[in-house]
């Protein structure tokens, strides 16, 4: 059972998402609100166990990015966060992952994708929905920084690591990657850790963007 | 290549008396015009983003939920999927319209992120190679500076897309010693400077860019010649500010 708390300031969307979540008996909606402060109070009181927060970004008062940071801080990173947003800009996606979010989905609901997102994020994996990863791909432009020539940076990744980046960018989970390339999940974890370190990036969104930028991978 | 400097091309008759006063008045007038236009655009974008699009998202979620129920036949499921596809496309289009009206990324994250996003909106479909060189990162400037520079980049990119017949466009946005400088350069067909009459300047949005630049006390110059593309240069004195 996954205990879900829903923060969304549009009642009509909240109702729609709830309807979608209600179908799955594995999900229990333990709370909902139109603002982040309510969830933070709930977390502070420790009365309700929340495994997963599904939150919007743009809200009156505290936004979803700040809420993610605070909820993560209050729970020592325990709570998992899936951002559900209308913002289709790379900057928003990156900021959410920087704040500690585990997943990012655009509000173009596909129930099957929502199920996959929740399952992965609840397990602590990172998830970017198909439409959001398409944005990262579309945003591929040759960026250069005039004061530090990052574009000239050479990253020495192995053939296997390149293969894993490609699989991650096509939306596969660590488990699926492990099955596909016949290694254990912990080996995939180790590869993933090494890739993030080598590429000097903090999260999957940055990794995919940078990999496309440096032409380490080509999205199909 | 000859330069054209904005100070000679305002399109407004200058009175000899109180020249400085006229300049300030003109600047203030343009600035307030920009502010009110941006306010209106923000309002419309907000209504699309927070109103129409959220309702469409809710409709999609409910249709998806309905499609998952047992009472729905297979062919109805397909029908629902088709409808949701249409709603999804509509949402995407509206998102584009709202982004063009008012760049939320600019207000939230600043010039660097917004220009980067603008690049992907404007140039992807045209298959024009883009290059963005910047040291701005997350630096923030006064709202009027950010929106004006953003609108100039937008106008210049529109120009490149519509008239330049360019294969490549480079935007450089650099901040140093309290000066924000912008250079937009394409490798298109360019134009003989003596053919740049008022009509062309207006069609190419250059008069508009000059007025925008003037409103923030910036200097805008244009460089072009046949076969050498267009280069637009702008520099403005500005301090950075911090947003919490």
Asked if the Cβ–Cβ distance from A146 to B172 is below 8 Å, we say yes
Q: How confident is the model at residue B193 (pLDDT cuts 50, 70, 90)?
A: confident
**Which of A86, A110, A118 should be substituted to probe chain B, the one whose Cβ sees the most B Cβ atoms within 10 Å?**
A86
Contact by Cβ (8 Å): B104, B118: no
Q: Say if A26 is an interface residue toward chain B (CB within 8 Å).
A: no
Q: Provide the pLDDT confidence category of residue A220 given band limits of 50, 70 and 90.
A: low
Q: What is the DSSP string of B87-135?
A: HHHHHHHHHHHHHHH--HHHHHH-HHHHHHHHHHHHHTTTT-EEEEEES
Q: How far is A89 from chain B (nearest CA, A)?
A: 7
- The answer to which of A35-44, A97-106, B206-215 has the lowest mean pLDDT is B206-215
Determine whether B206 is exposed, middle or buried from the number of CB atoms within 10 Å of its CB (0-12, 13-18, 19+): buried
Strand bridging mode B230-237 / B179-186: antiparallel
List Cβ neighbours of B55 (8 Å cut-off, separation of 6 or more).
A12
Q: Which of A20, A89, A92 sits opposite B65 (nearest CB)?
A: A20
Confidence at residue A106, expressed as pLDDT on a 0 to 100 scale: 93
Residues of A in contact with B114 (CB under 8 A): 91
Return the pLDDT at B132. Answer: 84
Answer whether 0.90 is exceeded by the pTM.
Answer: no
Q: How far is CA A149 from the centre of its chain?
A: 28
Residue pointed to by tokens 């982040």: A36
Instruction: Give which of B45, B50, B58, B179 to mutate to test A binding, by max A Cβ within 10 Å.
Output: B58
Kindly indicate the confidence band of residue B208, based on its pLDDT and cuts at 50, 70 and 90.
confident
Residue of A nearest to B61 (CA): A16
Task: Please report which confidence band the pLDDT of residue A205 belongs to, taking 50, 70 and 90 as the band edges.
Answer: confident
pLDDT score for B122: 59
Sheet architecture: strand order including A142-144: A142-144, B129-134, B168-176, B179-186, B230-237, B219-224, B3-5
Q: Which residues of B20-53 are buried (b: 16+ CB within 10 A; e: fewer)?
A: eeebeebeeebbeebeeebeebbeebeebbbeeb
Amino acid B126: pLDDT: 63
Instruction: State yes or no: pLDDT of B6 exceeds 60.
Output: no
B154 φ, ψ (degrees, to nearest 5): -60, -45
Is the model's pLDDT at A209 over the cut of 80? no
Interface predicted TM-score (ipTM) = 0.71
Instruction: Judge contact between A42 and A31, C-beta under 8 A.
Output: yes
């Amino acid at each position: 059972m996954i205990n879900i708390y829903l923060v969304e300031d549009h009642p009509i969307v909240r109702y729609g998402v709830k309807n979608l979540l209600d179908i799955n008996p594995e999900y229990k909606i333990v709370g909902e609100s139109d603002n982040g402060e309510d969830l933070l109070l709930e977390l502070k009181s420790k009365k309700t166990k929340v495994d997963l927060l599904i939150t919007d970004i743009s809200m009156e008062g505290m936004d979803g990015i700040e809420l993610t940071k605070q909820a993560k801080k209050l729970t020592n990173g325990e709570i998992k966060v899936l951002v559900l947003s209308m913002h289709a800009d790379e900057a928003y996606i990156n900021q959410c992952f920087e704040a500690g979010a585990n997943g990012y989905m655009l509000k173009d609901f596909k129930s099957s994708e929502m199920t996959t997102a929740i399952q992965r994020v609840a397990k602590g994996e990172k998830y970017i929905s198909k439409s959001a990863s398409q944005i990262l791909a579309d945003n591929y432009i040759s960026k250069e920084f005039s004061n530090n020539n990052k574009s000239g940076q050479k990253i020495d990744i192995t053939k296997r690591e390149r293969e894993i980046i490609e699989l991650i960018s096509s939306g596969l989970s660590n488990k699926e990657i492990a099955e596909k390339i016949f290694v254990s999940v912990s080996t995939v974890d180790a590869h993933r850790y090494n890739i993030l370190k080598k590429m000097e990036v903090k999260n999957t969104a940055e990794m995919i963007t940078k990999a496309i930028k440096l032409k380490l991978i080509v999205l199909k | 290549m000859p330069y054209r400097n904005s100070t000679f091309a305002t399109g407004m008759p200058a009175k000899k008396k109180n020249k400085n006063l006229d300049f300030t008045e003109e600047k203030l007038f343009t600035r307030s015009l920009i502010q009110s236009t941006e306010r209106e655009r923000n309002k419309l974008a907000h209504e699309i983003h927070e109103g129409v699009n959220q309702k469409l998202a809710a409709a999609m979620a409910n249709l998806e939920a309905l499609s998952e129920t047992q009472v729905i036949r297979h062919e109805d499921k397909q029908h629902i999927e088709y409808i949701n596809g249409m709603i999804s496309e509509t949402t995407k289009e509206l998102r584009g319209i709202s982004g063009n009206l008012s760049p939320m990324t600019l207000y939230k994250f600043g010039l660097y992120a917004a220009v980067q996003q603008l690049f992907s909106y404007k140039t992807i479909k045209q298959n024009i190679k883009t290059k963005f060189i910047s040291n701005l990162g997350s630096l923030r400037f006064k709202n009027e500076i950010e929106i004006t520079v953003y609108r100039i980049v937008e106008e210049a990119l529109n120009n490149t897309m519509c008239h330049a017949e360019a294969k490549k466009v480079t935007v450089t946005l650099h901040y140093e010693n309290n000066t924000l400088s912008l250079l937009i350069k394409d490798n298109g067909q360019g134009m003989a400077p003596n053919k740049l009459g008022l009509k062309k300047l207006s069609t190419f949005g250059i008069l508009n860019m000059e007025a925008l630049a003037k409103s923030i006390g910036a200097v805008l110059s244009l460089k072009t010649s046949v076969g050498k593309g267009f280069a637009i240069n702008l520099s403005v004195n500005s301090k950075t500010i911090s947003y919490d």
